[in-house]
Amino acid sequence: MHRRKLFQLFTATAVTALAALTTAQAFAADQVIRLGTMSGPDAQIWEVVRTVAKRNGLDIRIVEFNDYAQPNAALDAGDLDANGFQHQPFLDSQIEARRYKIVNVGLTYVAPMGFYSTRYKSLNDLPEGAKIGIQNDPSNGNRALRLLQAKGLITLKTAAGKNATPLDIATNPKKLKFVELDSAILPRSLGDLAAASINTDYAVKANLSPTRDAIAIEDLRGPYANLIAVRAQDKDKPWVKPLVAAYQSQEVKDFLDKQFKGAILPAF
């Protein structure tokens, strides 16, 4: 009888251990996070984050995009668990336009937008009627116009909101002509334009440095820090804080400093 009880106890213990092992394996499998970002500098940074996260049991699978509209659509559809490529005004404009239920869970970096030109050394050198390229999405187009206003080239109407377009320009002394283009096309269009506003990730891909090549650049203290976003229903999932912590690590800070030399700065 004693031997039978011992066998039963051993069997029950083995079954419990097997169940615990299966549960642990399932839990580990759940920690593969599909993370959407832009190809180029963003993807380079996330490779460093992936290495940091892996040491803490979090496996990040990086999915690269070349179009700003795609990562939020993929996240909202459930094809991604998180993304990291945008600032809050861009996310707000996407939520307003498409009703995404996506939230900010942590800051990543600041990459100041700049105006670039192959012909002129300063915005003040632009001639009357010059063709100026700006982004055709509401958030970044607004950002470009705000920078021109800060530099004194235009003024915007008082009623212009956070998604100002060229239609919201109140004064334009140089009669600048605005050409609205997809963000990815702007670097390749510089030869056809007097100047163009270019987001830093696309500038870096085109071998342009904001601190070296821009003829005008944003104040780093503005509202355009990039962020990590997840679906609202996932914001309290156990993998979210480790994901943010991996990005906001000293190793990532050191990589930003060494790799981008002031063009991309930590926002954490």
Given CA atoms 148, 154, 159, 163 in this order, what sign does their dihedral have? negative
Are 189 and 196 spatial neighbours (Cβ–Cβ below 8 Å)? yes
pTM of the model: 0.79
Which residues constitute the domain of residue 245? 32-111+223-266
User: Whole-angstrom Cα distance, residue 68 to residue 154?
Assistant: 27
The answer to whether 86 touches 40, Cβ cutoff 8 Å, is: no
Tokens of 155: 């003024």
CA dihedral sign, ordered 197, 201, 206, 211: positive
Q: Look at the chain and count its residues.
A: 268
Please indicate, yes or no, whether residues 228 and 107 belong to a single structural domain of this protein: yes
Amino acid found at 123: L
DSSP letter, residue 124: G
Residue 10 lies in a domain: no
- The predicted structure's pLDDT at residue 17: 37
Kindly state whether residues 156 and 186 are assigned to the same domain.
yes
Same domain, 183 and 231: no
Residues 130, 205, single domain; the answer is: yes
Q: Are residues 101 and 134 in the same domain?
A: no
Question: In this structure, is residue 9 part of a structural domain?
Answer: no
Helix (H, G, I), strand (E, B) or coil at 122: coil
| Whether residue 126 is found in the same domain as residue 212 | yes
- Give the total number of structural domains in the chain: 2
Residue spans of alpha helices (H) in 30-69? 41-55
Reduce the DSSP state of residue 141 to 3 states and report it: helix
In a domain, 119, yes or no: yes
Q: Please report the sign of the dihedral spanned by the C-alpha atoms of residue 257, residue 263, residue 264, residue 266.
A: positive
In a domain, 26, yes or no: no
CATH code for the domain in which residue 98 is found: 3.40.190.10
One digit per residue, the tens of pLDDT, for the chain of length 268 reads 444 443 443 344 333 334 333 333 433 445 899 999 999 999 999 999 999 999 999 999 999 999 999 999 999 999 999 999 999 999 999 999 999 999 999 999 999 999 999 999 999 999 999 999 999 998 999 999 999 999 999 999 999 988 899 999 999 999 999 999 999 999 999 999 999 999 999 999 999 999 899 999 998 778 899 999 999 999 999 999 999 999 999 999 999 999 998 889 999 9
Shared-domain flag, residues 106 and 127: no
Nearest to 226 by CA among 183, 182, 264: 264
